[in-house]
Amino acid sequence: RKEVEQDPGPFNVPEGATVAFNCTYSNSASQSFFWYRQDCRKEPKLLMSVYSSGNEDGRFTAQLNRASQYISLLIRDSKLSDSATYLCVVNMYGGARGSTLGRLYFGRGTQLTVWP
Amino acid sequence: NAGVTQTPKFRVLKTGQSMTLLCAQDMNHEYMYWYRQDPGMGLRLIHYSVGEGTTAKGEVPDGYNVSRLKKQNFLLGLESAAPSQTSVYFCASSIDRPSTQSEKLFFGSGTQLSVL
């Protein structure tokens, strides 16, 4: 089983739609969780961290379910500019500085296209 | 406000040739990383460094070497390029180890490498 698995996508939605992505992770000891956004042929950029209590940033809402080991990202009122690939990122191990690095594992990404 | 700079942006090699990718960051970050991204796969960690003069293997280190002689620079070397190393390479840096919820990776713009 891959460490981080995401919805295969692609998702094609009209402007204004609400879209949700899910991501599952294999290591129950994972400590930190993130969503990154990657535009075509560009570098990934942090979209938001995912906190245990859930968190919201404008139109974006992230949820974490530790019991089921999944993370979700909800985008409300989709904009054309939301078109991108969304990467689920999970830290698999936390180690002391200088020893085993807390390693981030990236999902394959889910492609979103918002059309007018 | 350069952030993380990678050079070159594109390169074509013949099998067996060698080359070095340069990553430079001006944010005084301790941690630096090299990832590769292949179609249908998430970013995979090649090597990383937790500080000047230190390097360590990541998930897919074979065929690559790295050096961190100066804090701001992290070099990725291919001694004898193979077609399997055709990929997009991203350098990243972070203030501290990525096992803390508030930490984020800053990525360079990537290097497209083709090995014929």
CA–CA gap between residue A41 and residue B107 (Å, rounded):
13
The SS3 assignment for A79 reads coil
**Mean pLDDT for back-to-back runs of 10 residues, chain A (116 residues):** 84 96 88 91 93 90 93 97 95 53 83 96
Q: What does B55-103 look like in DSSP terms, one character per residue? A: -EE-SS-TT-EEE-SSTTEEEEEESS--GGG-EEEEEEEESS-TTSTT-
Pairing of β B44-49 and β A110-115: unpaired
What does the mean pLDDT of chain B come to? 92
Closest residue of A to B51, CA-based?
A98
pLDDT band at B97 (very low <50, low <70, confident <90, very high): low
- Smallest Cβ distance to A46: which of B96, B104, B109? B104
Residues of chain B with Cβ-Cβ distance to A44 below 8 Å are 43, 90, 105, 107
Q: pLDDT of B22-64, one tens digit each?
A: 999 999 999 999 999 998 888 999 999 989 999 999 989 999 9
Structure tokens at B59: 């998930």
Report yes or no: A103 at the B interface, CB cutoff 8 Å.
yes
Closest residue of B to A85, CA-based?
B42
The SS3 assignment for B32 reads strand
Do B52 and B69 form a contact (C-beta atoms < 8 A)?
A: yes
Q: What residue ranges in A39-93 does DSSP mark as E strands? A: 44-50, 55-57, 60-65, 70-75, 84-91
